Amino acid sequence: MKRVVIFASGSGSNAENLIKFFHNSDTASVIQVLTNNPHAKVLDRCKKLNVSALSFNRIAFSKSEDVLNILKAAQPDIIVLAGFLWKFPEFILKEFNNKVINIHPALLPKHGGKGMFGMNVHNAVVHNKETETGITIHYVNENYDEGAVIFQAKCSVLPTDSVEDVAEKIHLLEMEHFPLIVNKLLK
Ligand code: GAR
């Protein structure tokens, strides 16, 4: 069985979707969820789903090797950032070369970079009167949202769409595609 570790900072709907997908899989399972936010809803979801979850602070993540050591012990085949908002330290990326992927709620290179997450991204899409948007799944490198693209899926944006409408379309694309792409990468 392949081993999946997820990093998330907030609600964790993608984390939950991945956990449920791999519950019924003989390819892989989600063995650990890690969060920088001790109040994140993702922790409640993991409790309900019986998946081990831990929160960590900045010192553990990037000023020491505590999180690195947790990862080394977990021996993940893939590390999935699912709504994770901190920059991933280079010294961890080095240990897990080409094994860290992220999902971004826009068609990169559009609407990426520091501060571009969640509703900020959908706001920009509506504000710029874009006619389409989508999701990008990509490898993580030392710069925000700049690693090689693995997969994109698009949806249309209507002139009448609100920011919430766009968020809902993106959510549906993420639910549909993210587990399938992670699964494909593991095979
Ligand atoms: C998702 O839409 C994900 O694409 C986005 O955060 C949301 C997390 O939702 N990620 C980013 O914006 C990264 N820059 P979730 O916590 O319900 O999975």
- Separation of CA 122 and ligand 1 centre (Å): 11
Q: Which residue has the least CA distance to atom 7 on ligand 1?
A: 83
Grade residue 114 by pLDDT with cuts at 50, 70 and 90.
confident
Q: DSSP assignment, residue 45?
A: H
| Alpha carbon distance 170, 149 (integer Å) | 17
Residue 18 maps to a domain: yes
Residue 131 maps to a domain: no
Residue 24 maps to a domain: yes
Question: Which of 21, 116, 117 is the pocket-test mutation for ligand 1 (most atoms within 8 Å of CB)?
Answer: 117
DSSP 106-155: S-TTTT-STT--HHHHHHHHHHTT-SEEEEEEEE--SSTT-SPEEEEEEE
Asked whether the beta carbons of 147 and 141 are under 8 A apart, the reply is: yes
| Average pLDDT, integer, range 88-107 | 97
- Separation of CA 118 and ligand 1 centre (Å): 5
Q: DSSP assignment, residue 10?
A: S
In the structure encoding, which two tokens stand for residue 178, read together? 């993210």
Residue 88 maps to a domain: yes
Q: Which residue has the least CA distance to atom 17 on ligand 1?
A: 13
Does pLDDT of 89 surpass 90? yes
- Separation of CA 177 and ligand 1 centre (Å): 14
Residue with the two structure tokens 């559009």: 110
Does pLDDT of 73 surpass 90? yes
- Indicate yes or no: pTM above 0.85: yes
| Average pLDDT, integer, range 117-144 | 96
Residue 156 maps to a domain: no
Residue 117 maps to a domain: no
Atom of ligand 1 lying closest to residue 120 CA: 12
pLDDT in tens, 141-174: 988 899 999 999 999 999 999 999 999 999 999 9
Residue 113 maps to a domain: no
Task: Note the residue count of the chain.
Answer: 187
CATH number of the domain enclosing 24:
3.40.50.170
- Separation of CA 1 and ligand 1 centre (Å): 27
What is the identity of the amino acid at 85? L
Question: Is the preceding omega at residue 105 within 30 degrees of 0, hence cis?
Answer: no
pLDDT in tens, 21-66: 999 899 999 999 999 999 999 999 999 999 999 999 999 999 999 9
Residue 157 maps to a domain: no
| Burial of 30 (C-beta count, 10 Å sphere; 0-12/13-18/19+) | buried
- Separation of CA 68 and ligand 1 centre (Å): 23
| Alpha carbon distance 73, 140 (integer Å) | 21
| Alpha carbon distance 6, 44 (integer Å) | 15
Residue with the two structure tokens 């799944």: 137
Share of the chain above pLDDT 70, in %: 100
Mean pLDDT of the chain: 97
Domain region containing 99 = 2-103+136-151+176-186
Which pLDDT does position 144 carry in this prediction?
85
Report CA Rg, the chain.
Answer: 16
What's the domain count of the chain?
1
Ligand 1: residues with CB < 6 A are: 8, 10-15, 82-83, 103-105, 116-118, 121, 170, 174
